Structure 1
């Protein structure tokens, strides 16, 4: 970040605090029960996403472009949960509310990167469903492994650059008074508002970031399903339309779980109590990683069949071992 700051002027000195204080959950009644839920959600997220990743790796039938995106979503959920939940529990349950300046920026980077990639992954899966249903004969030509890998890598690059820009802009802020962050993690919006020098670039980024990470993917997803619905209504029978749309149920549930709480929070931001807003936003960070693998296992026939095949192979392997003669 020294290069970033040197570009602003060699003689500029920024006042960086030794630490920030995370105060988001402090003072909320019965909050310790919520920590138990966070721990439960984290364990389910780790087990579920690990199983999904393992099934995709072990079953060659799932080595398709679609499951490149599903694997990446499971990885991002695991990555994001591991970056957030253990740290949140350590901060609030064990009262380690002060976090060093550089560690806080690192915490911000991992949380925002995983949040961005969750949205981008849902966008990639929406595009996959759009092509599969509207252009089924061209699906294997349009959605190749190379295309899906390129799209996922591009999303990672965009997410990392956007978040690094946010981190870089924070390093040019001076903090002369309060260092208390009223959130459950090192939230960019809460941090830049504490600055005592010009924070306008941070404000601009805080306006652009939701558009890039939240609104544009959501608009594309909604338009893609609107297009799918209109097309199926024109060219397919009701039975065929329902069969085609059934393949989208899992993805639609993921979209609802991720975007609806954020929509409610952003729409009713002024009317929601600050404590309720913090709890709601924290739920959007832990609920999707916990439910995504469950939804995909229960709603996706390919994964259910793959799990059955792997369990059947494992059972046969055990029987074979038991039948081997002991020398």
Structure 2
């Protein structure tokens, strides 16, 4: 059995877990503070939250343990219960490996319990002490992007054990279809699909309205994949002439699966995660990548540039086999007593 820890922030970690579990030929046990996904049939552990409520009597929570870790607040009962749940699960279930998506502390608890860990690597700057600890102790690093996208400055000890699987999406394997286009005898004009995620955003409704006002020939449709159904999202992607999206890994992977022209706009995240993705997409001319929401007057040219670049370049980011490639790597991962 494979364990899979999915962080509760946003919807992407759970989505990635489900995509991998769907093609893996062995049971997957989910662990998360987020609710169990609808339709999940594997084992599941509802982990205690370690971020609420705060104990009022503690003045200095020191959540980073003097800068060595990311989140271990002092005297937090939820953190203690969470650690006990994880170690008890490892002792009781004896998993073959634990995929950690993502938490330095969970990766360390798994490894301290003797469980081989596969740590999901993240875009951006990850050279801090805590990330080095998780990446160095991992048996493998799962990189859901193509080689060269975010690993150019990695040490050899990381690249040597990394699985560069490309973007992986719940829509991998589906056949994209051409958008209807503006001149279909009844369409009001080309369509922009504005795609938000569940992890929060800095772009305001005023920013969006200004972009709409600056592009009167375009019809803008907004939606959030965390609220609407997956099948509806695929249909919306297929119907869009240009997708405007945040630079979260799963949103980018889903746009790649749909092979849609896109403007990818980074939202503020720790470690410059989304900025790094947007820059690489733009550098490779896959789509238009921006590190911040642009001024309204820039939008007509940006949408035209995205249309010109088209959607074919996404094949460099994802070939549609990312989840299966992860499953193949996990099947081949055999850490036995005496292994280095």
Using the size of structure 1 for normalisation, the TM-score is: 0.22
The structure with more strand, counted as a fraction of residues: 2
Report which structure shows greater RCO (CA 8 Å, sep ≥6). 1
The structure with more helix, counted as a fraction of residues: 1
